[in-house]
Structures are given as structure tokens and as C-alpha cells.
């Protein structure tokens, strides 16, 4: 990983703030191993179409500037900027906790979403394999699961996911918000390029796994015109479902995103910020339930229409709500299947 300067907004949960008198130190990846107490998270937000999720990691090496999960790192005493990208927490006992939970009768027939606040296939998964071991537990107990990822590492587990799909249900969604590799690299610098993610769709489909594409987040004025190209390429690779989410910039995410945008794409920054404010009623974020995953105004309506018309033309299964992909419950099986509506990102 290339070295970058420290760039974290002030943490609102800390009573002290430091300023460097000289050049900031180089940013290096630090990995913290955590012995977690629990691994299953219950979600009660009306905007999120799944109830149970599993987060094997905290923080994410993909360093996507727009990641809505950045503020969660502040609860750990870290920053929401480069700390989120480089100070990573691994829940080393996640699979053991999951097996213990799945052994209880009350968990039968409940699906898990991987993840919610991180990408379950970020690079350190190659070494720790926490997500893989959790999926092995799901196969062992016949427990359905859905995954959203940006990383082609998910292909490593194609046979395992196919086995889970045969026994219960497994769905994988590739998050692909940009059609071209260059723009993607500017905003999500350490995630695999879109071209590789399309290849991951093709390989997972070949393994017999239902795959969808998440055009998420849609950043008005930046990647909204990419929607047709993304959906067409995903369909050509065999994706069956599609979903989208509008850009969210809660709390400290806004300064991180705008800083990266102005630095990496200075000629587009003003237009993008203007479009964001247009779809957010003049602000940068909408926190109210029922509104935060979408947008408002004529411009956003045109973006939403572009997605819906293109998805319909290509024969995609689409969500009942803007923010999530379609994940139908299979017949003759008492399993609740849920959709992961985030772009971990």
C-alpha cells in the first residue's frame, strides 16, 4: 500500500485534538486482533432490508472516500479518515462465535448479510480467512447468506458459496459504482478496478452462484452517466439482479469525501458538490429514515429513471426499494433471505 499523509477529521468522541508541528508521520497499516464477545448484529433500521449481519472486520483497506461506515471507527478512538483505511481490526474468533449461535434452535431459517460496516473480502481476508470460516459454518448448518463486496478475492470461495447455495441460499453482489478504472482509482484507490470486478461476476456465475450488481453509491455529477455501461457489462457477465443507493455523507464522511474529490478530481469537484446539494435540499446529507438512501429533486429523478429503465431493458431483478437489490425467498423453504444494501465498501 502506498504511503499517505495522516488525514482524519477531528473525532467528536475524544476530548482532545492534536496538531502536528512538523510533517505528519507516514501512514502504515496496523492490524489489531480482537476477541469479540458477539458476532451477530441485529439491525432495526427501516431503511435496511435485512435484520441480521456479520462483520468480521472493522475498517477497510479499500479506502473508498465515500464509505458511510467511517464514523464507526471513531467509536474505537480512531479517526474516520486514513485511520479507517489503515488501522484495521480483525475479529479472530468470529467463526467460533457464529458456530455457537447457529447451534441454537432460534437461529434456524435466518439469513445473514456479510457485512454492514466493512468489506468482508478486503485484502487482509486473504491472510486471516475470517469470512471464509464463517461461510464454512453457514454451510455446515445450512444457513443462508448474502454478500456485498468490491474485491475479486470472493472468487477464491466460489466452490464454498456454490455449496452453500445448494444447501440453503447464497447470493453475491459486486459493488461497482464506476465504469472506468481510472475514475474508480481516484475515489476508491485500493479496491480492485471495475474491470476485475466484472470478471469476478463472470466467474461466480460460472460456478453456479446467483450474482447481482450494486451501482452504489451513485454520486450525482460524477458516475450517474456510468449507469447504463455498468448494468450492460454486468448483464453480459451473467448478473441477474441490480440495485442502487444514492451517495450518503453522514458526519465525518463529508470532509473525507470532499477532500479526496478536490484533490483527485479538482475539475469536477465543484459540479459534483453542487449536484449533491441539489439532491439533498441544499445540504450534504439527509439523515431521516425513508429519505437517506435516495434523493430528491428533478436531477435525482432523472438518475433514478435512468437506472430503472436500463435495468428493465436488460431484464434485471430489481429491488422494491431504491436502496437494495432483489433477493427473493426461494419456494418451499422456510428461510428468510435479506439483501445487503450497502456498498462497503
Quick one: cell of 178? 464506476
Which residues on neighbouring strands pair with residue 109, listed in sequence order? Answer: none
Question: Are residues 215 and 178 in contact, defined by beta-carbon separation less than 8 angstroms?
Answer: no
Quick one: cell of 89? 481490526
Question: Are residues 154 and 192 in contact, defined by beta-carbon separation less than 8 angstroms?
Answer: no
Residue 45: the pLDDT is: 73
Residue 334: the pLDDT is: 27
What is the rounded CA–CA span in Å between residue 72 and residue 80?
8
What is the rounded CA–CA span in Å between residue 169 and residue 55?
19
> What's this model's pTM, rounded to 2 decimal places?
0.85
Quick one: cell of 67? 464509505
Question: Which residues of the chain carry a pLDDT beneath 70?
Answer: 1-27, 46-47, 49, 289-292, 319-345
**DSSP E strands, 92-137:** 112-114
Nearest to 301 by CA among 326, 335, 282, 275: 275
What is the rounded CA–CA span in Å between residue 319 and residue 316?
10
pLDDT in tens, 229-242: 999 999 999 999 99
pLDDT in tens, 208-223: 999 999 999 999 999 9
Question: Are residues 113 and 52 in contact, defined by beta-carbon separation less than 8 angstroms?
Answer: yes
Residue 337: the pLDDT is: 25
What is the rounded CA–CA span in Å between residue 215 and residue 224?
9
Nearest to 222 by CA among 254, 173, 255, 266: 266
Residue 291: the pLDDT is: 67
Residue 9: the pLDDT is: 65
Protein fold of 30-318: pyruvate-formate lyase- activating enzyme (3.80.30)
Number of DSSP helices (H) and strands (E) in the chain, helices first: 11, 11
Report DSSP letters for 203-268, one per residue.
HHHHTT--EEEEEEEE-TTTTGGGHHHHHHHHHHTT--EEEEEE----TTHHHHHHHHHHHH-HHH
Domain-wise residue ranges, the chain: 30-318
Residue 323: the pLDDT is: 35
What is the rounded CA–CA span in Å between residue 310 and residue 333?
32
Amino acid at each position: 500500500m502506498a504511503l499517505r499523509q495522516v488525514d482524519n477529521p477531528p473525532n467528536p468522541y475524544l476530548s482532545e485534538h492534536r496538531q502536528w508541528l512538523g510533517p505528519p508521520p507516514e501512514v502504515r497499516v496496523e492490524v489489531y486482533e480482537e476477541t469479540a464477545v458477539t458476532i451477530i448484529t441485529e439491525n432495526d433500521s427501516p431503511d435496511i432490508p435485512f435484520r441480521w449481519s456479520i462483520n468480521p472486520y472493522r475498517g477497510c483497506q479499500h479506502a473508498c472516500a465515500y464509505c458511510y461506515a467511517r464514523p464507526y471507527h471513531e467509536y474505537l478512538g480512531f479517526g474516520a479518515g486514513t485511520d479507517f483505511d489503515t488501522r484495521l481490526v480483525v475479529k479472530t474468533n468470529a467463526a467460533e462465535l457464529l458456530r455457537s449461535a447457529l447451534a441454537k434452535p432460534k437461529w434456524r431459517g435466518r439469513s445473514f448479510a456479510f457485512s454492514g460496516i466493512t468489506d468482508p473480502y478486503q485484502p487482509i481476508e486473504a491472510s486471516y480467512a475470517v469470512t471464509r470460516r464463517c461461510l464454512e459454518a453457514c454451510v455446515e448448518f445450512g444457513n443462508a447468506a448474502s454478500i456485498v463486496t468490491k474485491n475479486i478475492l470472493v472468487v477464491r470461495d466460489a466452490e464454498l458459496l456454490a455449496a452453500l447455495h445448494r444447501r440453503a441460499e447464497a447470493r453475491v453482489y459486486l459493488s461497482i459504482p464506476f465504469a472506468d478504472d481510472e475514475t474508480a482509482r481516484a475515489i476508491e484507490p485500493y479496491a480492485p478496478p471495475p474491470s476485475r470486478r466484472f470478471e469476478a461476476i463472470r466467474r461466480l456465475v460460472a460456478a453456479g452462484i446467483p450474482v447481482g450488481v450494486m451501482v452504489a453509491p451513485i454520486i450525482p455529477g460524477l458516475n450517474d452517466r456510468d449507469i447504463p455501461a455498468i448494468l450492460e457489462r454486468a448483464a453480459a457477465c451473467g448478473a441477474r439482479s441490480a440495485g442502487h443507493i444514492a451517495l450518503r455523507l453522514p458526519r465525518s464522511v463529508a470532509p473525507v469525501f470532499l477532500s479526496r474529490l478536490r484533490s483527485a478530481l479538482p475539475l469536477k469537484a465543484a459540479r459534483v458538490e453542487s449536484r449533491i446539494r441539489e439532491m439533498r435540499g441544499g445540504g450534504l446529507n439527509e439523515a431521516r429514515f425513508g429519505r437517506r438512501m435516495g434523493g430528491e429533486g428533478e436531477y435525482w429523478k432523472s438518475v433514478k429513471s435512468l437506472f430503472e429503465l436500463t435495468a428493465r431493458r436488460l431484464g434485471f431483478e430489481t429491488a422494491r426499494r431504491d436502496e437494495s437489490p432483489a433477493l427473493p425467498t426461494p419456494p418451499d423453504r422456510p428461510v428468510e433471505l435479506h439483501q445487503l444494501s450497502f456498498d462497503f465498501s
